[in-house]
Amino acid sequence: MCGIIGYTGVLPAKDILIDGLERLEYRGYDSAGIALLEDNNIILKKKTGKVAGLREAAGDIKSDSACGIGHTRWATHGGVTDINAHPHKCGQVALIHNGIIENYRELIVEYGLNEKLVSETDTEVVAALLDKLYEGDPVCAIRKAVKRLAGSFALCIMFADKPGKIYAVRNVSPMIAASCDEGSIIASDLTAVIAFSKKYFVVPEYHILTLDKNGIKVEDLKGNVVTPEILEVNWDITSAQKGGYPHYMLKEIYDQPEALRNTVTPRVKDGLPYLLDDGIPDDIFKEFQNIMVVACGTAMHAGMVGKALIEKKLRIPVTVEIASEFRYKDPIIDEKTLTIVLSQSGETIDTLEALKLAQKKGSKVLSIVNVKGSTIARESDYVLYTHAGPEIAVASTKAYTVQVAAMYILACKTGLERGIMDEASARDFMAKLMNAGEIIEETLKNANNIKLIAEEIKMAPDVFYIGRGLDYTMSLEASLKLKEISYIHAEAYAAGELKHGTIALITENVPVIAIATQEDVYSKVISNIREVKSRGAYVVLVSEDDEINDSNICDRQIKIPHLEGEFTAFATAAVLQLIAYYTSASKGLDVDKPRNLAKSVTVE
Ligand code: AGP
């Protein structure tokens, strides 16, 4: 994700833009830049690093232009460099972008744009396209360009010969706008707008905005002027940093649909898994004999979900190792092993050292990383970046589900390249994976029910998560989430293993959260639930079941949508994240920065 802002009005724009970018910095902080429009000239200042560095660099801009755009970047296409930083300028056009243009390569060829380009980004292609199409009418040029763009975009655009005006258009990527006495402002979210106005509107998709100091015109692609619904925000600037959510963690749980779309969509071409744009050749999926997955914490749990799928669908052996263990056990891997490393931060020292050990033993390393250009990414033979945007809360949520999605993409690609999956089943699989965001959106509608359940378990000294197969794997992540932010001792247990000792701990009202989403073991899990219920447990059943109404089975239910086996992972993840979140929040704990923890563990 990136942060974008535009301002045109009666005040000098430079500091307004930079202040706004500082408030948007949680959306990305690889690089930042501004463009000011003054006397038919576009003044550009952009550089890698945080917004504070841009503010210093912009000190030499003497312009008091009252019209400009600003951007803080979370790199997706192209490295973290000054040239790749936004705004991008091409001829008469300067623009900023949040999203992913999927067909930017085709556009370069179709419109002969190559000579115009200096960066590695998809965004610059849009600027070049607009400059090529521009014949004096910005709205006309934007209308033509938008019809050719595929993917997600929130664009703010200036044309050198249109002083005082900013144009904007979006598809999927968020953008809101507001008019006020000081002029008109547009941004990725309220964080940057609320200082000017508590009244705003959400930019309607595929509508072209023209902003000037007197107001904002909104027209559809046919040129019909529309009046958007004006909304009013009821929270203050401090919570605005979290897009209106009380905690980053909750915001990031709700970010998951967008994060999944941004991660999966660019890896699908003609309905099939496509990784060439990521520099991952098809051949590597044919060569290896076994897979080693190495990571820590939540990243390791995501790898375990990938293992469950790969072994079930592809019958390829997958070993999952905790990085800190892997490093000291003289692992049995060689050139016939593909090592998959997962890391949100790309800086976890145990994972980094495990990566180097795998390479020393001859194994190629493919890493799944969220932070572009991070150390693990740079050290890997291949990198599949997740596009979750910055994850601020220490407890990982959206990074986990996009890591699972990335594992699923690799599994499908392997199955296709080895002929284990035919094209039809690969298309069906990828179509279902493209829908993962909607699965989470649907599941999050359980939030109020989950909040009530959290109130009922929050004072328990111990909580047990049980499940079988994939649901046991999900239990591991669930218990970590609950432990690390609510400080309750939570334990994940294979449901069939309970009776071999641990069931001695199940007494009156001990909460047991039973996950029963896998059809092939459902009845077995239900009988395990009856075992703990008969010992007085307080059972929360997470399943696809409608109301069960049987006190011998469960006290509470959380219903997830009906899904095919492995895709329940996305729904279950959302449920378990919310259980942990609401339990911690209801205890008044520091959800985003729990005690003793750090977002990236760069020490051994
Ligand atoms: C997850 O909620 C934890 N914050 C932690 O387990 C984390 O997943 C682990 O430290 C690995 O971090 P990484 O993904 O940045 O390598």
Give residue-wise pLDDT tens across range 261-289. 999 999 999 999 999 999 999 999 998 99
Contacts of 279 (CB under 8 A, 6+ apart): 382, 383
CATH 3.40.50.10490 placement within the chain: 240-434, 445-586
296, 367, 577, 591, best to mutate for ligand 1 pocket (most atoms within 8 Å of CB):
296
In angstroms, rounded to a whole number, what is the distance separating the alpha carbons of residues 24 and 58? 18
Closest Cα to atom 4 of ligand 1: 395
- What pLDDT is attached to residue 595? 76
Q: Tokens 């890391």 sit at which residue?
A: 343
Instruction: Supply 589's token pair.
Output: 């704990």
Q: Tokens 């005082």 sit at which residue?
A: 164
Is the predicted pLDDT of residue 355 greater than 90, yes or no? yes
0.85 exceeded by pTM: no
Q: Which fold, 445-586?
A: Rossmann fold (3.40.50)
Tell me the percentage of the chain whose pLDDT exceeds 90.
81
> Which phi and psi (to 5°) does residue 309 adopt?
-70, -50
Domain 240-434 has CATH 3.40.50.10490: yes
Is the predicted pLDDT of residue 568 greater than 60, yes or no? yes
2: annotated active-site residue: yes
Closest Cα to atom 16 of ligand 1: 343
599: annotated active-site residue: yes
3-class secondary-structure state, position 146: helix
In angstroms, rounded to a whole number, what is the distance separating the alpha carbons of residues 562 and 544? 6
Give residue-wise pLDDT tens across range 2-22. 899 999 999 999 999 999 999
Q: Are 560 and 308 in contact (CB under 8 A)?
A: no
Query: Taking CA 160 as the corner, what is the angle to CA 154 and CA 161, rounded to the nearest 5 degrees?
Result: 120
Ligand 1 pocket, residue 580 CB under 6 Å:
no
Q: Which of 199, 193, 225, 197 is nearest to 210 (CA)?
A: 225
Give residue-wise pLDDT tens across range 395-408. 999 999 999 999 99
In angstroms, rounded to a whole number, what is the distance separating the alpha carbons of residues 405 and 440? 13
Contacts of 422 (CB under 8 A, 6+ apart): none
Q: Which fold, 3-233?
A: Glutamine Phosphoribosylpyrophosphate, subunit 1, domain 1 (3.60.20)
- Alpha-helical (H) ranges within 134-236 are 138-146
Ligand 1 pocket, residue 600 CB under 6 Å:
yes
3-class secondary-structure state, position 400: helix
In angstroms, rounded to a whole number, what is the distance separating the alpha carbons of residues 498 and 493? 7
- Binned at pLDDT 50, 70 and 90, residue 601 comes out as low
- Binned at pLDDT 50, 70 and 90, residue 603 comes out as low
- Ligand 1, residue 297: give the atom nearest the CA: 6
- What pLDDT is attached to residue 234? 61
Q: Are 24 and 191 in contact (CB under 8 A)?
A: yes
Query: Which of 47, 213, 593, 599 is the catalytic position?
Result: 599
- Binned at pLDDT 50, 70 and 90, residue 391 comes out as confident
**How many CB atoms within 10 Å of residue 221?**
15
- What pLDDT is attached to residue 291? 97
Ligand 1 pocket, residue 179 CB under 6 Å:
no
What's the rounded mean pLDDT across residues 293-298? 98
Question: Taking phi first (over 0 means left), then psi (-120 to 50 degrees means alpha), and beta for anything else, what does residue 215 get?
Answer: left
CATH 3.60.20.10 placement within the chain: 3-233
The total number of residues written for the chain in this structure: 604
In angstroms, rounded to a whole number, what is the distance separating the alpha carbons of residues 374 and 508? 48
- Binned at pLDDT 50, 70 and 90, residue 152 comes out as confident
- Binned at pLDDT 50, 70 and 90, residue 292 comes out as very high
Query: Taking CA 590 as the corner, what is the angle to CA 389 and CA 298, rounded to the nearest 5 degrees?
Result: 50
Give residue-wise pLDDT tens across range 498-556. 989 999 999 999 999 999 999 999 999 999 999 999 999 999 999 999 888 888 889 99
Query: Which of 2, 90, 156, 554 is the catalytic position?
Result: 2
Instruction: Supply 342's token pair.
Output: 């997962």
Is the predicted pLDDT of residue 602 greater than 60, yes or no? no
Ligand 1 pocket, residue 474 CB under 6 Å:
no
Give residue-wise pLDDT tens across range 316-327. 999 999 999 999
Q: Are 528 and 541 in contact (CB under 8 A)?
A: no
